[in-house]
Structure formats: C-alpha cells, structure tokens
A and B are shown apart, each in its own frame.
Chain A
C-alpha cells in the first residue's frame, strides 16, 4: 500500500543543512496500521509532510522508493492527498476554518475531488458526521467550529479526512490536544474505522500507549533514523534497541505505581547538521562500546521467544501477519539480558511525611464569561471554576490533582497561592490564616512551577538574574553569599555554573524547566505548586525532572501540589490523589486506594481511558463517558450526574452526593453505596 525506502530529507538552515531524516524505510500493507514514535525533533512530522508532498522550499528530499499503491508519491502526492490519503493533524482548532460552517468544510473535499454537487456533498457530510459518532449531525454541520468542543472538532476533522474514502489515513498526534476521556473516544472511533472500512493508518505519536492500542506495527525514530521496527506487541514488551529500552524505562506508568525511580536517558539529541556516521545514539547510550562508531544498518533482529510478549487474544481481530523485527544496533541481542543501568545511587530513604502544612476550606471562585466567548451549549453567564473545595497538604507530601482540562485544577492551584482572589473560603498555613493579600512571609514559603518552560522565564533575564531576584527579595542572601547560593541552586537542579550567564533561548526545554524549579526553590519554600510542570517535556527529560522533584522533596521536605492531566505521572509521584470534576473534588485518598476499586464513577472512567502499554485486553472493560467536561451540569445535585454512566436516578440530579469514607483518608462523593462501587472492575489491570 504505502512503501517508503531510503527516504532522506534535509532542511537548509543558516548553520548548514539539517539532516531531518536519514534513510527512513517503512511499509504499510492495505488495512494495516503503523505507529511512528519518537521524541520531539526525531523527524516524525517531517516524514508526514514528506509523504504528503507538503515540504517547504528549503527542503531537499531524496528516496530510493516512495510508492503509494501503484503511484510514485513524489509525483502524485498533490493528486492523492485529500482524495486517497487523508490527514488529521494535532490541533483540531487550527485544522478547521473558524469562519466556515463545519458541514461545508467536511463537504469540500467531496466537491473538490469527487465533483459532487454542493447539496449532495452537504448531505453526505451530515452522514459522515453521524458516522463519526457525533450526536445530532445536522446541527453540527450547521455550526461554526467555535461552537464545538475539542473532541467534536477532532471528529469533524476526521470526517473531513475520511470524506473521499481514502485508503490511507495519516494521523499526526491526533489526540495530543485532547483530554484523556475524549482521547479514548477518538481512539475507539479510529479503531472502529479500521475494522469497518479497512483504512490503513500511519499514527504519529509520542504516546506509546495509544500506538499500542491502535497499531500492529511500530517504527521508532531517533534523530531522523529508524532505530527499531517491528510488531508493536513484541517490540514494546521486549525492546531491543537501547533507545527504545531507554524510552520505556523513562515512562511513568499508571499501572506500576511510584515505587522506583524512573530511569531517564542522559544527554540530548545530536546535532543534525553534522550527523554521526556511526550509531548516533552512542553519546547517550549506556551500552556504548567499541564498534558503535561504525555505520549501523537496520538489520533483521533475531526474534526473541514469542512467549514474552504474550497477550490475551486479539478481540478486534486486528493482528495480521507479524512483520519482521529490525533494529539499528549491532549489539542489540547481546544486550538483551543486561538491565538499563540506574543513573545514580539508589535514592536515600524518604523522610516521613510531617504534620499539616496547608489547609484550604471551602475555596470557591467564579468567572464571569465575557460576551463573545459564550458557549452555545452552556448559555450561562458564570462558570464556577472552583466550587467549595477543601483539602489539606502535609509537610513533604505530594498531593496529585487530576481531572480533565476545565475541571478547575489550575484555578485551585492559583487560589491556594493567593494569586487569584478567592470568592469564598479560607486558607491556613500551619494553622495561621493566610490573608487575601499575603505578605512576604507566605510568598517565601509557597512557590509555583509552571507548565510551559518557554513562558516561565523572562526572556530578557539571565539565569543568574532570575535566581538572584528571589534571594534578594526575601533577604535570604546578598553579595557574595547570594552568588554562592546561585551556584548551589544550579547544582541542586543539576546544572553547572556555566548556566549562570545564559538566556532562556540558549537552553533546552528541560534545562529551562530546571531553572524554573531552581527559581521556585530559591526562597526555600515549604510548598510548591507544580502546575503541569512536566507535561511539556519529552519522556526522557520528563523522567529526569520527575526524579529531581522527588529528590528535592526527600532532601528538603517540600510538599507538592502536583497538578497534572497525566495519570501515569501522578500515579508515579503522588502520595495522595484528589480527582477534580467541574470545580469540585469527587474523590480523594491515598494513591493506591484511588487507583483501585471502590472508585467514584468519574475516577473509574478517567483511569480506564488511560492508554496503557501491554494491556490491550483492558479494552473490553473500558468505561466510556459521553460528551466532555463542557457539557452542562445540573445546578444542584451531583456535578457529574449528566455524564455519569452509573447514574441512579433523579436523586443524582437533585441532591448533592454525600462524602463517604471508603477507607482511611479515602473519600468518595457519590450516591451509590460503597459496596456497589467496590464491585467495579480494576480500571488499570486486566479484567479477570
């Protein structure tokens, strides 16, 4: 179907040609699904653009073979894309024209490529939208993109891509911009489309979990080269190339818990203007040995015994003839028994969690919606972003805060730091009330780390300036002592003194995030709010930052409020988890209690939506939510009632659910009796 061999791509830049792709080969059979994984900068998106013939001016492409069915892609890409090759990009908001009705945009390829009359094309568009699982497709077709939620938009984009019944679908991070529950809906849809239409897919993703769910083969890219290729189950359960192994070792997994430290891959991507003729992972590889500097070839690997990647059947009947495993490492088999080495000495014993540090009681915050951005579906003038939340954090404890976007997590974090004025509620730091405009005492002790490493540092300040400011402001050190303190802070986050003079644009994302953490720690706080602090980072870097945060917690006794939409990360680092939905905490408790039954139905849905590696058989037990977080909720009663798959009846809509104690410190706010909730299947483990 699709066959690419020896594809190389270079971009001309001022520093010289950047070798974005080098000798990439892959093949997808009719109806097959190939996953393409790798960290940012590995060349995934470049490959998609090359296949579509959408490369810019400065790119030079060469390939031994680039075939789609019987056509040469280099010549025919312009004719094929949109007609026989459909594409779905990451950001559904950017893929739809905000000034045109959705139906017209779905209908357009039909008019363009199939020559349908507008009326017929529109009718077909409505049908397509319905096939994508959108309720009331005629109304959706009549709406403008801003009136739809993110998940609805992505369904419309997929409908557009499928309009001309393409034989191949290129999916470039199709669910990355979506919430995990919406992601699960989209993955279900894609899975169904494969089964019913036999459309082939190339799924580009940094998320190994969704590749594992959707694909039967996977290609691992590292810095423009294919380092490993093969059937997804065998490859992910027994990776051969050191990079693949490192990637898996660095991945926090919701089903593994947080007992051991993650093992990050040291170093960063090589300079692609001067590609290494030998193995280019060598500088970061813990197994590098003589012979690695020789050019490597992607060679068939001696298959490991099939029993290791055993799965319980294949419910969707998707597995076809398993492809050959290929690997770009001359020592891969020899190393199969050697474990990935731990970067440092095993962590010191964790000090016990101390007394209550921060308490919040009945915090509330409403936002007035501005004129233009009123959602069609929720024509209310106010949003209760945080609605009467009470929680407590002890010294040295990590409280994970999870929930879909829009559930009020970030708002709660800012309320706790008094960065936003609360409408109601009280905050106490070690028993002393925190006023609405707290003084430097509170500011020193409570700090924040943000998601976006690019935005959290002032672009016009050096690292030294950024770190000195809190020291001087809070009178922690001055003069030569402050200089020494800056060095100490940099050392704390494992950056050398050479970083002092750097500006943010001279550092990588991981380095910037370390500086942001160092700046937050400069005032020696007792409480750190981490608002999606590792979400923007690549897996290998994320692992290093997570380890750093854990180490700092143990050494300095800092308590974290760890806000994240990534259940895997929270399960790894948190001691307790609070699950938020529409401004309220629906479940709270110790991490192992929250991740196992009894669940709040929302927690269960959230957890079962998480794509896990090597757990394809979970698919049957999946609990799916309809709609998304913006679906309007009843004014009284349970805030989750309108989407709850386990709704009891009118009581859910009319009465606020009672908080029930499910175990020590484990509270679930649900009308259903605990015994019933406890009978729920385990959402992370396999169904019995």
Chain B
C-alpha cells in the first residue's frame, strides 16, 4: 500500500500535459461553441443540402442544409456532460457503497457485492437500454443510465482499496480512539483512497462518453433536432456514401475527445499510482 500512500509532488508526466491541453481545448470549444458557430445549428437551408466541406461550410452540410461544423460545436457539451456527469453519478453512488461494504463485513457486504455482481453480469448497453426503455428518452436520463451502469465497477474498486487501507495501523489507532464508521471512512480511508479512484474515474469517463453516444445512436439519448454526436452519426447513416462528412466530423471529434480523456487518465495513473505503470486494462 505504501506506494499509493506516498504523497504527491512528482513531476507531471508529459502525456498528462498533452491530454490536458487537448481536453482543455475541447472544453473551451464546448463552452464557446454557440458564440463561435458561424450558423444556427438547427437552421434548415434547403438550397445548400449535402454540400461537401468548403470555405463557407468547413465540415460541409447535412441533408437539411444545416452546417455540420456548427452542429458539432453545439453538440460538444452533450458528450462532455454525458462523460463527466455519468462518471460523477457512478462515483457518488459507487464509492460510498464500496466503502460501506469494506467496513461492514458480513451480511451488508454480501448484499452489496452480490447486487454488484448481478448488475455487472449484464452487458452495459443492454442495461442502459433497460433503464431507458421504460421512460421517455432525454439527455438527463442518458446520463443517469450510463452513471448507473458504471456504479458496480466503482463499488468494487472502492471496496478493494478500502479493504487494503482498513488493515493499516492508523485505522486501528482510530478504532482504538473509538471513532465511528463515518469518521474512519470519511477522514481516514477516503483521503488515501483518492489516487486509485481518480485514476479509475478518468479512464471511466471515456467509456461513459462512448456508451452515452452509443445509446444516442440507438435513439435513446437526446432527441432530434439535438446535435449530440452519437445521434448525428446515426442520422448520417443513409448518406454515408454520398456525404460521408456528415458522420465523419462528429466521429472524428468523438475520437479526439476519447483519446484526450484517455491520455489524461493514463497520465494521472502514472502520476498518482506509479505501481500501475505500463499495466494494461
């Protein structure tokens, strides 16, 4: 455990810096998108349908003559919200569950962990479908669904980290003071559990974005005319041979975002948890 417990203060890995720059750029574009966009993302222009990329339309136009570049800019915040929002939800639910499971062994742990096993055995897309199919689709629901899908993984990681830490002597010293569960978990365990949890979170964002986009692609996310990237890719399908740019532009942006987030995640892992360096996932 000692390596994970060692204090921060090492140099930032180069990959982390690079990833942060790209991610920052995406965040900036998402925030400023509406102001930068040359056209209204939802405005039809029937005279300029399926135009290839040009000086007027950098990424071309779609079947309704909407400017793809403007739509991609307007859709960035969907993907980001989905990735980070869903991960935040999984963290907020999964970590406390994992900590409680580790602390209260026995029946409580059994109940939590067997529930987790049950959820983890279902394919993520199927689980997402299940949650979304019974209600009206929408961005908020997609985020919630994706977040719930990743709760079991967070629970497992939090429990594993907490189990290691609970065996440490400073926790026993806290028990010898008669500290309650809340103090031990929140003050003694959690501050030391962050490094591995943050690393996992960062890597998890990638999957959340991907899963969110996949659900949108299946029509279970934001509804047209929203410009969510997954939805845009789905809508571009009929025109894939005559106007490939409609799907290519959001697809490439999605790729860029995923790579940036992933690089940040791996950089964080190198920074916070050097023992895991070079280990695949």
Contacts and interface: CB of A to CB of B under 8 A. Distances in A.
Interface string A508-526: 0000000010011001000
Nearest to B170: A458
A505 B178 contact: no
A455 B170 contact: yes
Interface residues of B, number: 17
B117 interface: no
Contacts of B191: 458, 460-461
Contacts of B2: 454-455
A469 B176 CA distance: 12
Given A458-B192, A459-B5, A505-B6, A438 B178 contact: yes
The 4 A-B residue pairs with the shortest CB-CB distance, nearest first, are: A443-B178, A460-B191, A450-B169, A456-B169
A450 B173 contact: yes
Interface in A455-488: 455-461, 469-470, 473-474
A419 B168 contact: no
B232 to A, nearest CB: 44
A499 interface: no
Contacts of A448: 172-173, 176
A595 B49 CA distance: 99
Given A455-B170, A503-B7, A470 B178 contact: no
Contact of A519 (B5, B173, B178, B188): B173
Interface string A562-582: 000000000000000000000
B177 interface: yes
B242 to A, nearest CB: 58
B180 to A, nearest CB: 10
Given A419-B176, A473-B179, A503-B7, 6 more contacts: A440-B178, A450-B172, A455-B170, A461-B191, A473-B178, A505-B6
A443 B192 contact: no
A439 B168 contact: no
Nearest to B172: A419
A447 B176 contact: yes
B176 A456 contact: no
B170 A505 contact: no
11 contacts: A448-B172, A450-B169, A451-B169, A457-B170, A459-B5, A459-B7, A460-B7, A470-B177, A473-B179, A505-B6, A520-B173
A452 interface: yes
B5 A439 contact: no
B178 A439 contact: yes
Interface in B1-20: 2, 5-7
Nearest to A442: B178
Contacts of B177: 443, 447, 469-470, 473-474, 523
Contacts of B179: 473
A460 B192 contact: yes
A459 B177 CA distance: 18
Interface string B181-198: 000000010011000000
Interface of B: 2, 5-7, 168-170, 172-173, 175-179, 188, 191-192
Interface string A399-421: 00000000000000010010100
Nearest to B171: A458
A254 to B, nearest CB: 27
Given A419-B176, A439-B178, A523-B177, A456 B170 contact: yes
B169 A455 contact: yes
A69 B177 CA distance: 61
B173 A456 contact: yes
A509 to B, nearest CB: 13
Contacts of A503: 7
Contacts of A417: 176
Given A456-B170, A458-B192, A443 B176 contact: yes
B168 A455 contact: yes
Nearest to B11: A14
Given A455-B168, A456-B169, A419 B6 contact: no
A586 B223 CA distance: 78
A438 B176 CA distance: 10
Nearest to A458: B170
Pick the most buried of B2, B176, B177, B188: most chain A CB atoms within 10 A of its CB.
B176
Nearest to A452: B169
Contacts of A469: 177
A616 to B, nearest CB: 38
A460 B176 CA distance: 19
Contacts of B169: 450-452, 455-456
A126 B98 CA distance: 49
A505 B8 CA distance: 10
B12 to A, nearest CB: 15
Contacts of A452: 169
A599 to B, nearest CB: 34
A523 B179 CA distance: 13
Contacts of A474: 177
Nearest to A414: B172
B99 to A, nearest CB: 16
Pick the most buried of B2, B169, B172: most chain A CB atoms within 10 A of its CB.
B169
A459 B1 CA distance: 11
Contacts of B168: 455
B233 to A, nearest CB: 44
A86 B5 CA distance: 36
Contacts of A450: 169, 172-173
Pick the most buried of B2, B7, B168, B178: most chain A CB atoms within 10 A of its CB.
B178
A440 B178 CA distance: 6
Nearest to B10: A14
A440 B180 CA distance: 11
A409 B199 CA distance: 39
A414 B169 CA distance: 12
B164 to A, nearest CB: 11
Contact of B192 (A414, A438, A459, A470): A459
B176 A505 contact: no
Contacts of A505: 6-7
A543 B170 CA distance: 24
A470 B187 CA distance: 13
A350 B72 CA distance: 81
Nearest to B6: A505
A361 B188 CA distance: 33
A345 B129 CA distance: 78
A486 to B, nearest CB: 16
B119 to A, nearest CB: 27
Contacts of B172: 414, 419, 448, 450
A338 B191 CA distance: 52
Interface string A607-643: 0000000000000000000000000000000000000
Contacts of A455: 2, 168-170
A476 to B, nearest CB: 12
Nearest to A460: B191
A523 to B, nearest CB: 7
Nearest to B5: A459
Contacts of B170: 455-458
Interface string A220-258: 000000000000000000000000000000000000000
Pick the most buried of A414, A457, A459, A503: most chain B CB atoms within 10 A of its CB.
A459
Contacts of A457: 170
A448 B172 CA distance: 9
Contact of B175 (A419, A440, A451, A458): A419
A469 B177 CA distance: 9
B272 to A, nearest CB: 13
Nearest to B4: A459
A417 B188 CA distance: 20
Contacts of B5: 459
Nearest to A449: B173
A469 B186 CA distance: 14
A443 to B, nearest CB: 4
Pick the most buried of A439, A460, A473: most chain B CB atoms within 10 A of its CB.
A460
Interface string A77-90: 00000000000000
Contacts of B175: 419
Nearest to B190: A460
Contacts of A460: 7, 191-192
